Amino acid sequence: MKRLAIFFVCFASLAMASCNMLGAGAGNTVAQSLGQTCGSAVLGLYQSYKSTGTIDLTNANNLTNALALATAYTQLRQNKDNTSYRNAFTSGLIMSSAGLITNQNAGNFVSALLGAQQLGTINSSSTTSQVNTTTPTLVNLVKSLD
């Protein structure tokens, strides 16, 4: 199971990194795409949290979603002062979260995501114990959507 989880984490990291490198000149498209990835990840973590009461990072889907959030955090943090980028990211976030993130709560969620500094420590080479330290941060993010 650990190998499968590591495979998913590595695959997701490479996929996101290649998307970021390919779209470096197309800020709004990249930002919107990253927002969509983030919205899907948040939705997956939210649903997992609602069904189990926690976020189990031994679950490959949760681990992949945590990595997606970490990538979104890092990219959004690097572009936090770019209003166009942030708006495109927020648009993608709303689009792919199946109504969980709305125009009304998107600003608060993006602010909470930017404040989740522990997510900046996760990357494709993180150990399971390093990723597990972010569980409270992930729980707080999804709880902010209630």
Render each residue's pLDDT in the chain as its tens digit; 146 residues: 444 444 444 444 444 444 444 444 456 899 999 999 999 999 999 999 999 999 998 888 999 999 999 999 999 999 999 999 999 999 999 999 999 999 999 999 999 999 999 998 887 777 777 778 888 999 999 999 98
Both tokens of residue 30? 């990249």
Q: What is the pTM of this model?
A: 0.79
Range of the domain at 96: 2-143
Q: Does the CA dihedral 94-97-98-104 come out positive or negative?
A: negative
pLDDT tens by residue, 2-43: 444 444 444 444 444 444 444 444 568 999 999 999 999 999
CA distances from 86 to 31, 49, 90, 120 (A): 7, 27, 6, 18
Both tokens of residue 121? 């420590």
Which three-class secondary structure state does DSSP give residue 25? coil
The total of structural domains in the chain comes to 1
pLDDT given at position 5: 43
Both tokens of residue 33? 């795409």
